[in-house]
Amino acid sequence: MADIKENLEKLASLQRKISAYAHATALLYFDGNTGAPSKTTENRAISSSILSEELYRLQTSDETFALLEELDAHRDELPESERRQVYLILKELRETRCIPMDEYIALQKLLIESDSVWHEAKERSDFAMFLPYLEKIFEAYKKVAGYAAPDKDPYDYWLSRYEDGLNRETCDKFFSRLREGIVPLLARVMEASGGRVKGMEGYYPVSAQEKLSDYLMDVLLLDRGHCGISTTEHPYTINFGSHLDVRITTNYHENDFIPSMFSVIHEGGHALYETNIDDAYTRTAIDSGVSMGIHESQSRFYENIIARSKGFTSFLFPKLREIFPEALKDATEEDFYLACNTVVPGLIRIDADELTYCLHIMVRYELEKRIMAGELKVSELPSEWNRLYKEYLGVDVPDDKHGVLQDSHWANGNIGYFPSYALGSAYGAQLLSVMKKELDVDACTASGRLEPVNAWLKEHIWRHGSLIAPGELLRRACGEEFNPDYYVNYLSEKYSSVYGLK
Amino acid sequence: MADIKENLEKLASLQRKISAYAHATALLYFDGNTGAPSKTTENRAISSSILSEELYRLQTSDETFALLEELDAHRDELPESERRQVYLILKELRETRCIPMDEYIALQKLLIESDSVWHEAKERSDFAMFLPYLEKIFEAYKKVAGYAAPDKDPYDYWLSRYEDGLNRETCDKFFSRLREGIVPLLARVMEASGGRVKGMEGYYPVSAQEKLSDYLMDVLLLDRGHCGISTTEHPYTINFGSHLDVRITTNYHENDFIPSMFSVIHEGGHALYETNIDDAYTRTAIDSGVSMGIHESQSRFYENIIARSKGFTSFLFPKLREIFPEALKDATEEDFYLACNTVVPGLIRIDADELTYCLHIMVRYELEKRIMAGELKVSELPSEWNRLYKEYLGVDVPDDKHGVLQDSHWANGNIGYFPSYALGSAYGAQLLSVMKKELDVDACTASGRLEPVNAWLKEHIWRHGSLIAPGELLRRACGEEFNPDYYVNYLSEKYSSVYGLK
């Protein structure tokens, strides 16, 4: 027992060090897209890569590996949280160590180059330029999966890296249920709307929008002492070393306040999850959200289920008129509700409405899966992409910039990542159905008093950090397995109501 | 020779690593006083101390020491820049290694506690609260000097830590020359002015002041691609890993634009020095300014000699009226010039005018010197402080908050640091006198075209980074030894002209 105690102290110390390096590299990244001068990118990249290398050395050292193996051998004697920490670190470590060092380094190099080539290729709408890099990435990812999990299908391996336990079977069922629910619903919505778009364009000064951001963070009950807000080109949430320092970002457009408003609420959902992790887990491997899917379930819960609801938009509207008296002087509550819930199939995923969003994800899932299975060549991606956009969304893709080159994910090696966006939306709807049995969620949204909703999510999701695997976490919270019907039903009710469908 | 080449590569790699850690800890500090949420201080302190510890281990390892000793043994075969790098790192390392580890750790701990106690003591104006910490700091600093340089006077040791080669003898001569020049001059200025204060109070919106900051940075010819500007409570300049990423900060007061204007120009001077270091020295021990004194000579050169001159204030005034049309509608160029050059002996060093500034420094020098020599007890500091302020500046100190507790330097262990502020001012005046033989400096300031001034300073000072020791650097630039007469003459001419003295 004395040995275990000593080893647990070493484990804690190891994790504190890891968190300090993670803090530094996260802060370098954040500085790079908040205030850094334009010609400092290379300088930052050098520091970041040196610190990452130092961390890699620490994490993969024989000493670290021996400590974790020793702790793992006694896993039944460990407290639950430490058992989980050992499991997570060791899993990562074993996978890293089974990749030959030269291939690991070559892959890191490939990803850095590929990101920069993708940027230029997107700018020029030139897929051919990006093709050789993307081919190499998919090849490398198949190979890495083979090293890490030789008995597993390569795509299943990558799916489960982002969402522990996820595989093609679950995804196939999920997406086919979704398609079968959404595609006919979308057709009825389009028929009812006649494709009309309701917007709220006007002049919304940044300083006023900043006030709105502060107000929204207060309504979400975010602890501003542990959560800051900054401006970046693409909004995101990041934590610095622990759940005790979280930053969200947004991007203001002076002709419309709605994009930033939903960014703040979406990132605010991520930040609620992070900042509410149990303090006992500070600076350990479980001191952050457990998976991409669960994380998106929280952000999309606040963005879509809460903030796009009839009740919440009614609650918010008087405040909006107070903040933007000029631009909104002729607008009505109903205009605002419709502007938040207008359905229009489009080309760009990140601009998609709640209803069509998952169709964008389905295209990506379909393509990734077929490439990883060797059923589709990387060179055939643009034409297949365009064909599927026509089939699922009914839109014609004019060029690769607005098509296959729009997302950075593949260029950065995030293969298997997209499905978790859709899963998160579906998790959220299932959580809502359980929450509604215990709380009057509609009353909370209509009054803007979100304490009970937050308390429920803190109890069932947030406080656990990464202690419990995503599937089990959802099962415990909902009392049943993941079931996409809740999401399809939610969408169907919501959009039948918005568009007055019978 | 093959061995040396290999060792030089190891030296370069060591310095790159050191710079990456320095980058991370500097960025953590910067984040802490720019955008960080209020309750994240402890989280940042943990990461910072872990990274500092990792760096300390790297720097003081036997392997590092052996490499440097080996290189030092062959110093005559090394290129000039590497010889200097080895000298600087080894000097630091030898001094650190000769302090017993437990004392070193105890001192670091003492400084952290003392900083926090000082903050509270200053707030409460309670010197007694701070006294035991300050006593321990002075004791520890005598002891460390004894370890590091047993043959040297302890205060001389600390003076030379901030300004290589500086000692009490030089300081005594310097300050007595200054006193003898400034004190009677000040009396005549006060007689002429009758103590009248010329200010420019009004309403100066932050957004307009930000435009002025950008304009001033352009006039200084700062490369904005490598130099950013942010807002902090106390202005400073910091570099991130190398001279290629420098940030200055300022603090805006809406009732007066002058404080921020001079902060931007002062910090801009520091940033010109840093950003113009030769790229060949990137991420080495010579990739920053060589000493506090030389650094202040640059910042105070731009702040005082350039920006408070008759020519520059005339050049700037039309732009100021353009930026602040309301507040300055009745102001004249002459008002502005006088507001920039009003002399008023006061209590607070950082608010002091150009003429009385050095008197504030003299008080601190006098007191430090006597404490280190055992001629004054730390407990006697407040009464001696107040006595000297009366003697040198003619002001009565109402309480310790506005007296001995005003500066953070001693609380942070920066004993021997103050004299370099005054030295810097004097270096600047001596550099000006040489520069004037080669350039029409007045024409540059009057036209706001500072290229020739910058080019001169880049050639003689900036590009060298820390390659050349401060005394030698000044000697080469000026063609003679440091001579405080230039500064006394400069002040005398300047303030005789401002106040129309005969």
Whether chain B has a CB inside 8 Å of the CB on A17: the answer is yes
Whether chain A has a CB inside 8 Å of the CB on B28: the answer is yes
Q: Do B38 and A223 touch (CB under 8 A)?
A: no
Global pTM value: 0.93
User: pLDDT for A337-361, tens place per residue?
Assistant: 999 999 999 999 988 999 999 999 9
- Contact residues on chain B for A239, CB-CB shorter than 8 A: none
Cα–Cα separations (whole angstroms), residue A267 to A408, A417, B343, B357: 19, 18, 52, 49
Bridge partners (DSSP) of residue A237 are A248
Query: What angle do helix axes A168-193 and A357-372 make, rounded to 10 degrees?
Result: 150
Is the pLDDT at A400 greater than 60? The verdict is: yes
User: pLDDT for B367-377, tens place per residue?
Assistant: 999 999 999 99
Contact predicate A470/A290, CB 8 Å: yes
Is the pLDDT at A1 greater than 80? The verdict is: no
Lowest-pLDDT choice from A9-23, B49-63, B224-238? B49-63
Rounded mean pLDDT of chain B? 95
Q: What band does B362 get if pLDDT is binned at 50, 70 and 90?
A: very high
SS3 content of chain A, % helix, strand, coil (to 5): 70, 5, 30
β-strands A246-250, B237-239 pairing? unpaired
Is the pLDDT at A96 greater than 90? The verdict is: no
Contact predicate A224/B37, CB 8 Å: yes
The residues of B that are catalytic are 267
Q: Do A54 and B17 touch (CB under 8 A)?
A: yes
Q: How confident is the model at residue B2, as a pLDDT? A: 55
Q: How confident is the model at residue A230, as a pLDDT? A: 97
β-strands B246-250, B237-239 pairing? antiparallel
- Closest-CA residue of chain B to A229: B35
Q: How confident is the model at residue B102, as a pLDDT? A: 86
User: pLDDT for A415-463, tens place per residue?
Assistant: 999 999 999 999 999 999 999 999 999 999 999 999 999 999 999 999 9
Instruction: Report angle CA A186, A188, A194 to the nearest 5 degrees.
Output: 95
Instruction: Report angle CA B266, B269, B271 to the nearest 5 degrees.
Output: 115
Q: What band does B105 get if pLDDT is binned at 50, 70 and 90?
A: confident
Whether chain B has a CB inside 8 Å of the CB on A46: the answer is yes
- Closest-CA residue of chain B to A222: B37
Q: How confident is the model at residue A422, as a pLDDT? A: 95
Contact predicate B241/A47, CB 8 Å: yes
| ipTM of the prediction | 0.92
- Contact residues on chain A for B37, CB-CB shorter than 8 A: 224-228, 245, 247
Mean pLDDT for B456-475 is 97
Whether chain B has a CB inside 8 Å of the CB on A51: the answer is yes
Whether chain A has a CB inside 8 Å of the CB on B39: the answer is yes
Q: Do B28 and A28 touch (CB under 8 A)?
A: no
Q: How confident is the model at residue A2, as a pLDDT? A: 55
Whether chain A has a CB inside 8 Å of the CB on B46: the answer is yes
- Closest-CA residue of chain A to B37: A225
Q: How confident is the model at residue A35, as a pLDDT? A: 86
Q: Which residues of B456-489 are buried (b: 16+ CB within 10 A; e: fewer)?
A: bbbebbbbbbbbbbbbebbeebbeeebbbebbbe
Cβ count near A154 (within 10 Å):
22
Rounded mean pLDDT of chain A? 95
Give the percent of chain B with pLDDT over 90.
Answer: 89
Whether chain B has a CB inside 8 Å of the CB on A109: the answer is no
Distance, in Å, from the CA atom of B377 to the CA atom of B120, rounded to the nearest integer, reads 22
Q: What band does A363 get if pLDDT is binned at 50, 70 and 90?
A: very high
User: pLDDT for B408-424, tens place per residue?
Assistant: 999 999 999 999 999 99
User: pLDDT for A3-50, tens place per residue?
Assistant: 899 999 999 999 999 999 999 999 999 999 898 999 999 999 999 999
- Contact residues on chain A for B223, CB-CB shorter than 8 A: 39
Higher-confidence position of B168 and A99: B168
Whether chain B has a CB inside 8 Å of the CB on A230: the answer is yes
Q: How confident is the model at residue B1, as a pLDDT? A: 47
Assign A298 to helix, strand or coil.
helix
- Contact residues on chain B for A17, CB-CB shorter than 8 A: 50, 54
Q: Which residues of B317-354 are buried (b: 16+ CB within 10 A; e: fewer)?
A: beebbebbeebbeebebebbbbbbbbbbbebebeebbb
Roughly how many angstroms between the first and final C-alpha of chain A, as a whole number?
A: 67
Nearest to B20 among A20, A50, A244 (CB): A50
Distance, in Å, from the CA atom of A31 to the CA atom of A13, rounded to the nearest integer, reads 27
| Mutation target among A28, A34, A40 for the B interface, most CBs of B within 10 A | A40
- Contact residues on chain B for A224, CB-CB shorter than 8 A: 37-38
The active-site residue, picked from A82, A163, A267, A303, is A267
| Mutation target among B245, B247, B250, B279 for the A interface, most CBs of A within 10 A | B245
Lowest-pLDDT choice from A100-104, A166-170, B347-351? A100-104
Mean pLDDT for B112-125 is 91
Whether chain B has a CB inside 8 Å of the CB on A274: the answer is no
